[in-house]
Amino acid sequence: MPEGDTIHYAARRIAAVLERRVPEEILTPQPRHRFERWPERLAGRELCTVDPHGKHLFLRFEGGMTLHSHLRMSGSWGVYRAGQPWRRSRRRAWLVMRGGGWEVVQFDGPVLELMSDARTRSQPSLCALGQDVLAERFDEDEFLRRLRRDDPRRPIGDALLDQRTLAGIGNVWKAECCFAACVNPWRATAHVSDEQALALVSFARERMAQSARDGFQERPRAVYRRAGEPCPRCGATLKAVHFEDYIIAYCPHCQTGDKELKDRRLSRLLK
Ligand SMILES: [Zn+2]
C-alpha cells in the first residue's frame, strides 16, 4: 500500500514535469468519470501546485479547482516520457495528463475527485488529518497532543496508522519505526513515553524523507514481511501477528513491552 513517502515521491516527479504549466491534454478514461467533463473544466488552466499531504495528493489548478487523489491499496502514479511504455495496462488508467513531452498517469485510483480548493480545506475527513509526517516544519507538541487524545489502550502500532494523529504512515513504516525505536507495536499508547513516541516519528521522518527523495526501493525493511527470519539486531526470530486486516511484524526480544499488554483481546491474539 502506498504510504506518504510514495506520494511525496510521485508529487516531486509530477511537479517536475507539469507544475506551473497548462497541460496540453487531460483524459479521464475511467467510465466512472465519463460524464463529469473534467477535461473541459480543466482546459486551459495552469497546474499551480502539486501538494502531498500524508497519503493524499492535491493537484491544484488555476481558478480554485483541485484534483484530489488517494491511492488506497491499489492505485499508483506514473510519470513517463511520451511514447514510453506504461507500467500498468492502459485500461487501468483513470487520469492522463500530457504536457511538454511527458505523460502523468494515475492508475487504479479508487479516490479521484475534482473539487473546489475551498472544499479541500473544509471537507471534514480532510480537515481532520493530522500533520504530514514529512512536513518541512513538524510540530512535535501538536503530534503528542493528538496521540494523547486517542484511546490510551490502543496499541502504539495501531495508533500510528491513525491519519488524524499523523498523516502518511502505513504498515511498512509503522513496523519499521517501532523496530528502530525498540518499541513493541502492541504496547498500549499509555505506556509509550513522549520520548519514545518522538523517537518513532523522528525515525519515520528521516527515513521516509530519504525514500521520498530516492523512491520506493530505498525503504529499509528490517522487519516488515520478514517474520520467521532472524532479527537484524539481536538474532531472535521475528514474529508476525494478525490484527484485524493487517499483520504486525516485530522482534519479541528487543522490542520489549509485552508485559504491558492488558487488553484481553490482544493477549488472546498473541497466544
Ligand atoms: Zn531483536
Query: What's the CA-to-centroid distance between 197 and ligand 1, angstroms?
Result: 19
Query: What's the CA-to-centroid distance between 35 and ligand 1, angstroms?
Result: 55
> What are φ and ψ of residue 201, in 5° steps?
-70, -35
What pLDDT, on a 0 to 100 scale, did the predictor assign at position 271?
44
Strand (E) or helix (H) holding 111? strand 111-116
What pLDDT, on a 0 to 100 scale, did the predictor assign at position 258?
47
State the Cα–Cα distance between residues 119 and 128, nearest whole angstrom: 13
Query: What's the CA-to-centroid distance between 227 and ligand 1, angstroms?
Result: 12
State the pTM of this model.
0.91
Query: What's the CA-to-centroid distance between 244 and ligand 1, angstroms?
Result: 24
State the Cα–Cα distance between residues 184 and 177, nearest whole angstrom: 10
Give, in degrees to the nearest 5, the angle at Cα 22 between 16 and 26.
Answer: 95
Other beta carbons less than 10 A from residue 245's beta carbon: 5
- Given a contact cutoff of 8 angstroms between Cβ atoms, the answer to whether 167 and 241 are in contact is no
Query: What's the CA-to-centroid distance between 229 and ligand 1, angstroms?
Result: 11
Burial class (CB in 10 A: 0-12, 13-18, 19+), 222: middle
What pLDDT, on a 0 to 100 scale, did the predictor assign at position 214?
87
State percent of the chain over pLDDT 90. Answer: 82
State the Cα–Cα distance between residues 114 and 28, nearest whole angstrom: 11
What are residue 183's DSSP bridge partners? Answer: 256
Query: What's the CA-to-centroid distance between 250 and ligand 1, angstroms?
Result: 8
Query: What's the CA-to-centroid distance between 132 and ligand 1, angstroms?
Result: 29
Query: What's the CA-to-centroid distance between 180 and ligand 1, angstroms?
Result: 10
Query: What's the CA-to-centroid distance between 160 and ligand 1, angstroms?
Result: 21
For 235-258, how does the pLDDT look when each residue is reduced to its tens digit (9 = 90+)?
999 999 887 777 888 999 999 754
- For residue 263, is pLDDT > 60? no
Query: What's the CA-to-centroid distance between 177 and ligand 1, angstroms?
Result: 13
What pLDDT, on a 0 to 100 scale, did the predictor assign at position 110?
86
- Given a contact cutoff of 8 angstroms between Cβ atoms, the answer to whether 168 and 134 are in contact is yes
Mean pLDDT of 153-170: 96
Q: Which of 222, 187, 229 is nearest to 203 (CA)?
A: 222
Distances from the Cα of 251 to the Cα of 35, 240, 254, angstroms: 51, 9, 6
For 101-113, how does the pLDDT look when each residue is reduced to its tens digit (9 = 90+)?
999 999 998 899 9
Other beta carbons less than 10 A from residue 141's beta carbon: 8
Query: What's the CA-to-centroid distance between 251 and ligand 1, angstroms?
Result: 5
- For residue 269, is pLDDT > 60? no
For 187-227, how does the pLDDT look when each residue is reduced to its tens digit (9 = 90+)?
999 999 999 999 999 999 999 999 999 886 656 689 998 99
Query: What's the CA-to-centroid distance between 179 and ligand 1, angstroms?
Result: 8
